[in-house]
């Protein structure tokens, strides 16, 4: 079976550190909080500690990826997985 036929599209909901782009003058500033986001991509690699997703996958040897991002699983709130198969033709 081709590597591409085993791939999954994954959508994650995560929280992580947030960089605040201005001076904060009070600990009560409502902008002092974690960043929450959603990310989606083709699953490249998954370990106990992290998950790596790519924006694009090419069928040149089934292992060519572009724009890979790795997320710590400690910040992932949910993971949705969608399997797909390569179309023939």
Question: Are 12 and 71 within 8 A, CB to CB?
Answer: yes
pLDDT, position 1: 43
Report the alpha-carbon distance of residue 87 to residue 89 in Å, rounded.
6
CA angle 56, 60, 61 (to 5 degrees): 115
pLDDT tens figures, 7-55: 899 999 999 988 877 776 788 878 788 999 999 999 999 999 999 999 9
pLDDT surpassing 60 at residue 3: no
pLDDT over 70 at 2, yes or no: no
Output the pLDDT for position 79. Answer: 97
In angstroms, what CA-CA distances link 35 with 10, 57, 65, 75?
Answer: 20, 27, 26, 10
| CA 84/CA 27 separation, integer angstroms | 47
At residue 19, the pLDDT reads 82
């Amino acid at each position: 079976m081709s590597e591409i036929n085993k791939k999954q599209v994954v959508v994650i909901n995560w929280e992580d550190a947030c960089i605040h782009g201005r001076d904060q003058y009070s600990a009560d500033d409502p902008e002092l909080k974690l960043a929450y986001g959603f990310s989606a991509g083709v699953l490249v690699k998954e370990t106990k500690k992290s998950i790596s997703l790519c924006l694009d996958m090419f069928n040149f040897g089934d292992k060519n990826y572009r724009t890979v991002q790795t997320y710590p699983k400690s910040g992932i709130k949910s993971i949705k997985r969608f399997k797909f198969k390569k179309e023939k033709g």
